[in-house]
Amino acid sequence: MHTKTNEVSVKQTLKYILGIGLENLKYAEGKHAISIALSSAILVFVSGYLLNVSRLSTVFSLISIVFFAISIGFNVFALMSRETIIKQAKKIKPNKKIESKINFTYYEDIAHFDAGTYLTYLIDDYGFPKKYEVDAFEVDLAQQILMNAKVISIKFLYYNKSIKLIGAGIFFTLIMVIMASLGL
């Protein structure tokens, strides 16, 4: 049988990991908000050039606008549709093969676990008693940690796509500005 201190320690560990996950979730959402602001600002800048440049520069302006608009779409989708993100997160399947060294606080490492396997590995890795029996609250905490990890993974996936689009948009914006400054 396990002692009261071990019960508290596992719960405290899970609560701590959940707190880290929630901080990562806030961080991901903050990055999306910044990306929306950046894309919107550059989009307004580029739109100002549409009427005052040649046809070729207008084409580059429009290409930039499309990239920034899609980037904004990814970011808004990641921020606004929590239900859709959770549906996508539920599609992430547990890994059949578990790596030998797992960071139990890193969302990418834990996103592919199921609650039972996660708790088993966590209890073993953190040195809790081998015969430790988890209770329903610990299972609930583990499930919440895993769902947050999956949501965070998807939010960062959309953020990374958005950043690539912003980069492409900035590239075409620079071409457009150079062409406009040369009078082309």
Secondary structure (H, E, C), the chain:
CCCHHHHHHHHHHHHHHHHHHHHHHHHHHHHHHHHHHHHHHHHHHHHHHCCCCCHHHHHHHHHHHHHHHHHHHHHHHHHHCHHHHHHHHHCCCCCCCCCCCCCCCCHHHHCCCCHHHHHHHHHHHCCCCCCCCCCHHHHHHHHHHHHHHHHHHHHHHHHHHHHHHHHHHHHHHHHHHHHHHHCC
Predicted TM-score of the model (pTM):
0.78
What integer pLDDT is reported at residue 127 of this predicted model? 81
Q: How far apart are CA 168 and CA 48, in angstroms?
A: 19
> How many domains does the chain contain in total?
1
Are 132 and 6 a contacting pair, CB within 8 Å? yes
Asked whether the predicted pLDDT for residue 184 surpasses 60, the reply is: yes
Write out the residue range of the structural domain in which residue 64 sits.
4-182
Reported as a single tens digit per residue, the pLDDT across 65-121 is 999 999 999 998 888 766 666 766 666 666 655 666 778 888 888 888 888 888 888
Task: Identify the residue whose tokens are 């790596």.
Answer: 99
Mean pLDDT value of segment 16-20: 92
d(CA 155, CA 151): 6
pLDDT tens digits, one per residue of 108-129: 888 888 888 888 888 888 888 8
